[in-house]
Structure 1
Amino acid sequence: MTGVVTRYEELLAAGELRDDADQRAAVEQLGRVQAELEAGSPRKGLLGGLLGKRPQPVRGLYMWGGVGRGKSMLMDLFFECLDIGKKRRVHFHAFMLEVDAMIAEERAKKTEGPVRRVAARIAEDVRCLAFDEMVVTNTADAAIMARLFTPLIEEHGVTVVTTSNRPPHDLYKDGLNRSLFVPFIELVERKLDTLSLNGPTDYRLDRLGDLETWHTPLGDDATEQVREAFFRLTDYKPEDAQHVPSGELELGGGRTLHVPKCLKGVAVFSFKRLCGENRGAADYLTLAREFHTVIVVGIPILGPENRNEAIRFTKLIDALYEHKVKLFATAAAEPESLYPTGDGSFEFARTVSRLREMQSTDYMALGHGVD
């Protein structure tokens, strides 16, 4: 099969990609991983396979960077080109759900070391685990990850290649009982090479094309537009829409926020869930730090009786704006007509101004986070 470096060069020559130093460095590392995995594969090392020798462990790769910088595209190329039998590509969230189920099975058998046994089960079928979007928001996952991945990598020789929006030391940042998670970070830094992908080209904007961000009036057409934005941003197959992962965002103090759709830094919420319930500015800041894109559906026209909802919506938009989060929305009206009368409607003009700016090309091109 074609090497990932050769395939990347072909795409550059065809004008499908733009030259990017960060991407080139990542491709070279992916080429190294590919070559070493294939050299140790039974397909390529028949004698070693006949003698029952375990393939030598291959150092993995952790690629992190902003949205639209080509992480998923490079993972596509790597996985497509990798010529070994025992390989698997999976979204990290889906993988951890599988792990949770397997641990429950092992505990039901009352076996010793259920997490280590799960690691051994996984390693039976996989030499290379390729993860899309490693992000940790769940306390239970954070607590078991070092215990799972240490034997998986160090004892069973599984190679991990992963993408993430943040560097290893920022994973599960400020999470509850983070000390339990720190050994996993140390494992990643010890066993995986870390590369930053923050080049000048934002391929996300290319994928969005001419899609608008604010859709009114409410109805099937508006819903279809934000649905299309979600699938373009996440590369998830529309025909598999029923299986889009959900998530739980930890807000602190034992409180969580259910995220109905949560994938690759994109979250979908209803207006009722975000602004119809009692929430404060700290909740919205946590949300804005966690997701680079937020889709809010069902924004109604607000009146004097909706004063609390209007205040919460203002706090939500402030947090999203300050963290340069991209907003897609379905609404009953244009921003100027959302809160025409009521306590604070005059101050709502600033929110309207921000909503308009957030629709601009310049805003959409900004990187996620506070400068």
Structure 2
Amino acid sequence: MAPSATVEPKPRQGPVRSALERLIAAREIEPDPLQRHLADRLDALDRRLSAEIGASKKSALGWLFGKKREADPVKGLYVYGDVGRGKSMLMDMFFRQTAVAAKRRVHFHAFMAEVHERIGEHRRAHKNGEVRGDDPIPPVAAAIAAQSRLLCFDEFTVTDIADAMILSRLFKALFANGLVLVATSNVAPDALYPDGLNRQLFLPFVEVLKKHAETFELAGAEDYRLAFLGEEDVYLDSRDPSAAERIDAAWERLLGGGRETTASLSVKGRTIPVPRAGNGAARFAFEDLLKRPLGAQDYLALARRFHTLVVEDVPVMGEAERNEAKRFITLVDTFYDAGRRLVVSAEAPANALYQGRSGTEAFEFDRTASRLFEMRSSEYLERANGEQTREG
């Protein structure tokens, strides 16, 4: 009798890969070899962090005091690729499953706003003679690293020169203090802060980042979440009793199993809060977005960050709401020109949303209504999806 063939046991799946396979088995997402590869990479990172903690954690801060003796420090992971590829979903799985207790998940812009606040506090304390040293970066970095061994950034992007100018020194100090970074972004490290003012001063940060975090491109031609949005999903009558339920369902499809969070944008030194965000989509009530004194640069920043914008409860506007109507016109123009998606719930058809008869808004709103109608078409949705895929 011929000897039976030896069957090699399959390698044990880590928690991130297992969570991903459960979603695939439940048919909530399609199987994707690159997503599986990324899940395995995240599990490998978690195993290394866990092993390090197990070897050095003799006290609550053992990882902090022992890390400088480590000859081979743990490298983080910088994941970039097309919108809708599952970057945030997989990072959230990793964050939930990791054994690291000293961890933090935060949107990049919220983190940088906090850093600037800490720097300001240190400078005030130094001026008052309360602390030594006029350089705020080392103590700020040490304080952040003392609180978090693992830092997870969603949607890493650099648009603010104030951020760009301190990132190199800040993260060099953070990494020296043992911090491990996991981040998602739409662009590769070398494409961060494109055409930014004084970009040459920002470039050392790119080298610091690549030295301390491996890069992983989650490439792909299809945006799985957006494929589920049809023409009937992108302009809803808010007076319809089912409208709220339908827009919630569209939002869940956009999240694609990922976690909803808050976000913020920094535009010319101003911070724009995004109350609901996830997986490259943002959601606003009309009052939160169109009653604020925002302009074209703000909407352009939104279009650059998010592939889909959901705006709820757009009212019929008259001459008393000319400012809101003008902002809405600008918002639609910006997203149309950028090839982005708008999901709108409104209390009237697009051609009846503005009732004013004087001023330029009445004339301009005809174009807005036409564009909103075109943005509902399958041709526009398919074209927009193609643009987003090329942009990454």
Scaled to the shorter chain, the TM-score interval is 0.7 to 0.9
Match in the other structure for 2:4:
none
- Quick one: structure 1 residues 363 and 215, their matched pair in 2 at CA, closer, same or farther if it must change by over 3 Å? farther
Paired with 2:92 and 2:35, the residues of 1 have a C-alpha distance of 13
- Report Cα offsets for 1:129-178 as digits up to 9, x if no partner: 1222212333322222222111111x112110111122223323233443
Quote the Cα distance in structure 2 between the aligned partners of 1:283 and 1:84.
37
Question: 2:335 aligned with 1:320, yes or no?
Answer: yes
Where does residue 110 of structure 2 map in the other structure? 94
- In structure 2, relative to structure 1, the CA distance for the partners of 1:369 and 1:218 (3 Å cut) is farther
Q: Secondary structure at the match of 1:368?
A: helix
Partner residue in 2 for 1:134: 156
Structure 1 residue identity aligned to 2:266: E
Match of 1:165 in 2: 186
- Cα deviation, 1:109-145, whole Å, max 9, x if unaligned, reads 2142212111111222322212222123333222222
Please state if 1:70 is matched with 2:86. Answer: yes
Provide the secondary structure at the position in 2 that maps to 1:356.
Answer: coil
Q: 1:249 aligns with which of 252, 262, 267?
A: 267
Query: How far apart, CA to CA, are the structure 2 residues paired with 1:88 and 1:257?
Result: 21
- Counterpart CA distance in 2 for 1:6 and 1:32 is 10
How far apart are 1:60 and its partner, in Å?
1.1
Secondary structure, counterpart of 1:27 in structure 2 = helix
Please report how far the alpha carbon of residue 191 of structure 1 lies from its aligned counterpart in structure 2 after TM superposition. Answer: 2.0
Deviations 1:183-213 (A, max 9, x none): 2222222221111223355342488799822
Residue 106 of structure 1, CA deviation = 1.9
Return the alpha-carbon distance in structure 1 between the equivalents of residues 145 and 196 of structure 2.
Answer: 29
In the TM superposition, what is the alpha-carbon distance from 1:249 to its structure 2 partner?
Answer: 2.6
Q: Match of 1:337?
A: 352
Tell me the residue number matched to 1:53. Answer: 66
Corresponding residue number in structure 2 for 1:214: 235
Matched residues in 2 for 1:343 and 1:13: separation? 50
1:216–1:132 distance in 2 versus 1, CA, 3 Å = same
C-alpha displacement of 1:276: 9.7
Specify which of 140, 165, 174 is matched with residue 195 of structure 2: 174
Report the alpha carbon displacement of residue 299 of structure 1 after superposing the two structures with TM: 4.5
**Structure 1 residue matching 2:208: 3-state secondary structure:** helix
In structure 2, what is the equivalent of residue 288 of structure 1? 303
1:134 aligned partner, one-letter code: F
Q: Which segment drifts farther, 22-31 or 284-293?
A: 284-293
The answer to whether residue 72 in structure 2 is matched with residue 26 in structure 1 is no
Residue 20 of structure 1 contacts residue 199 of structure 1 at CA under 8 Å; is this kept in 2?
no
User: Is 1:38 matched up with 2:50?
Assistant: yes
Q: Over residues 262-314 of structure 1, what are the superposed CA-to-partner deviations in whole Å (9 max), with x where a residue is unaligned?
A: 7454444748966997956x775554333322234564557899999878756
* Contact 2:226–2:254 (CA under 8 A) maintained in structure 1: no
RMSD of the TM alignment (CA)? 4.3
CA drift of 1:34 comes to 1.6
| Aligned mates of 1:294, 1:9 — CA distance in 2 | 27
Secondary structure, aligned partner of 2:336 = helix
Q: Distance in 2 between matches of 1:109 and 1:312?
A: 42
1:355 alignment partner, one of 364, 375, 389: 375
1:63-90 deviations in Å (ceiling 9; x for gaps):
1122221112211222233223332222
Question: Equivalent residues in 2 for 1:172-211 (5 A)?
Answer: 172-200=193-221, 202-205=223-226
- Kindly report which structure 2 residues correspond to 1:265-280, keeping only aligned pairs within 5 A, or say none: 265-267=280-282, 268=284, 270=286
Do 1:259 and 1:269's aligned partners in 2 also have CA atoms closer than 8 Å?
A: no
1:150 aligned onto 2:172: yes
Give the Cα separation in 1 of the matches to 2:350 and 2:390.
24
Q: What TM-score does the superposition give when structure 2 sets the normalisation length?
A: 0.72
Aligned residues of 1:249 and 1:259 also touching (Cα < 8 A): no
Which deviations, in whole Å up to 9, do the C-alpha atoms of 1:305-349 show, x marking residues without a partner?
999987875664344234331102233422243469854677667
Q: Quote the residue 1:106 is aligned against.
A: 122
Aligned to 1:11, which of 12, 22, 25? 22
Structure 1 gaps of 5+ residues are: none
- Larger-gyration structure (1/2): 2
Cα offsets for 1:209-251 (capped at 9, x unmatched): 99822233479986786577567646555xxx8xx3443334x
Question: For the Cα contact (< 8 Å) 1:213–1:359, is it kept in 2?
Answer: no
Q: Distance in 1 between matches of 2:324 and 2:16?
A: 52
The answer (yes or no) to whether the contact 1:8–1:27 under 8 Å persists in 2 is: no
Contact 2:80-2:217 at 8 Å conserved across structures: yes
- Give 3-state SS (helix, strand or coil) of 1:53's partner: helix
CA separation in 1, counterparts of 2:271 and 2:125?
33
Unaligned runs of 5+ in 2: 1-11
Deviation at 1:62, TM superposition (A): 0.5
Residue 64 of structure 1 contacts residue 164 of structure 1 at CA under 8 Å; is this kept in 2?
A: yes
Asked whether the 8 Å contact 2:151–2:182 carries over to 1, the reply is yes
Change (3 A) 1:63 1:101: same
- Structure 2 Cα separation of the partners of residues 22 and 127 of structure 1: 27
